[in-house]
Amino acid sequence: MSLSELIKQNRSFRRFDQSFKIEEKTLRELIDLARYSASAANLQPLKYIISVDPAINERIFSCLAWAAYLKDWNGPEEGEKPTAYIVVMGDRSITDNFRCDHGIAAQSILLGAREIGLGGCMIASIHQRNLRSCLNIDPSHEVLLVIALGKPVEQVVLEQISADGNIRYWRDSNGVHHVPKRNLDQIIVSSYNCQA
Amino acid sequence: MSLSELIKQNRSFRRFDQSFKIEEKTLRELIDLARYSASAANLQPLKYIISVDPAINERIFSCLAWAAYLKDWNGPEEGEKPTAYIVVMGDRSITDNFRCDHGIAAQSILLGAREIGLGGCMIASIHQRNLRSCLNIDPSHEVLLVIALGKPVEQVVLEQISADGNIRYWRDSNGVHHVPKRNLDQIIVSSYNCQA
């Protein structure tokens, strides 16, 4: 699969086949992709907690807020919950400024997941205190993102943004999740192309 | 090529074949990869300026600081400079918090570049005032990163971090660029794997 295909298929998935188990080894392989990715000044301040343990997963799940734009939906129901989590932290003993390292890492991780038929979602809306307590997170480690993973069971389609500029994703009556994306010409503001 | 191979080959390159021209169309295709990538709350606040124009490239180049750890090197010499740039900005009229969107986008862009034999480097050490002036950047747009691109002419190798924990990259007498990476076991701090 080309990278372009992989990126297009790598949507933010929020409903999963909860009977599909993910192995710890798989999470380690995904973090290895992040490890090989760029880090500002090569500081590599990111640290990770991983879980494929159903009881711990349930506790992590209880610390997360899902899909803010879907007002009538409080997140995946039993049977459709994620079966693995990667908690992405910044180690303040290395630096106080993690810049966009967690974005680089999370993109590598989710592309890697998609390549093997998994999928997931980066979640930044986190009940920090509860999560820190339930995972015994070191005070020097800042929680930056939680990546929820599983075998997706929902269809996500991209669509062109409408004239009113509304970027809120929505779910239709068939449960299909629609995501409006800005056009290329709306995001490239200038182009200098005079070849000498 | 598998994603894992692509990520491993996608090093931060800083020396290029300056005779190799990159087309504007290629930059547009790379930004399309970023456009299809995740954005926090789907806000899509990132905007881009692209250049394949040698005169503009020279002005962008003059606003950048290169490879802070290589004290005797001020950046690529004439003949080895980047031949294209993507300036990644955050549009404050959309949000004030760009989270790690630029990391996600830049990783997609650089993986896409690597897939077609190009390479580059994310640069955050930027003379902001000069860059804003030379590219007429709108006051509402914050410059987050400059991605320098070209056809790489340097060899970059990864190596295991040494016992002293020094993460500074270095260049050997053959011009090979060495990048120490932390081990997987140094970055995964806990793993919960009790399968029910």
Q: What is the mean pLDDT of chain B?
A: 97
Collect all residues of chain B within an 8 Å Cβ-Cβ radius of residue A106.
38, 100, 103-104
Interface with B, mutate which of A95, A104, A142 (most B CBs under 10 A): A104
Q: Which chain B residue shows the shortest CA-CA distance from A185? A: B28
Q: Is residue B196 pLDDT above 70, yes or no?
A: no
Collect all residues of chain A within an 8 Å Cβ-Cβ radius of residue B110.
38
Structural contact between residues A32 and B174, judged by C-beta atoms closer than 8 angstroms: no
- What pLDDT is recorded for position B121? 98
Say whether residue B52 is in contact with chain A using an 8 A CB cutoff.
yes
Distance CA B117, CA B13 (A): 12
Shortest CB distance from A8 goes to which of B31, B36, B49?
A: B36
A154 to chain B nearest CA, in Å? 17
- What pLDDT is recorded for position B16? 98
Q: What is the mean pLDDT of chain A?
A: 97
The CA-based dihedral angle spanning residues B22, B25, B29, B31, taken in that order and rounded to the nearest 10 degrees: 80
- pLDDT tens digits for range A84-108: 999 999 999 999 999 999 999 999 9
- pLDDT tens digits for range A27-43: 999 999 999 999 999 99
CB contact under 8 A, A7 and B37: yes
Q: Is B10 left (phi over 0), alpha (psi -120 to 50) or beta?
A: beta
pTM: 0.98
Sheet with A119-123: strands ordered across: A119-123, A141-150, A84-91, A46-51, B188-192
A167 to chain B nearest CA, in Å? 6
Shortest CB distance from B124 goes to which of A28, A99, A192?
A: A99
Work out the pLDDT band at A195, boundaries 50, 70, 90: low
- What pLDDT is recorded for position B194? 84
Q: Which chain A residue shows the shortest CA-CA distance from B13? A: A38
Half-sphere exposure of A17 (CA within 13 A, CB side): 10
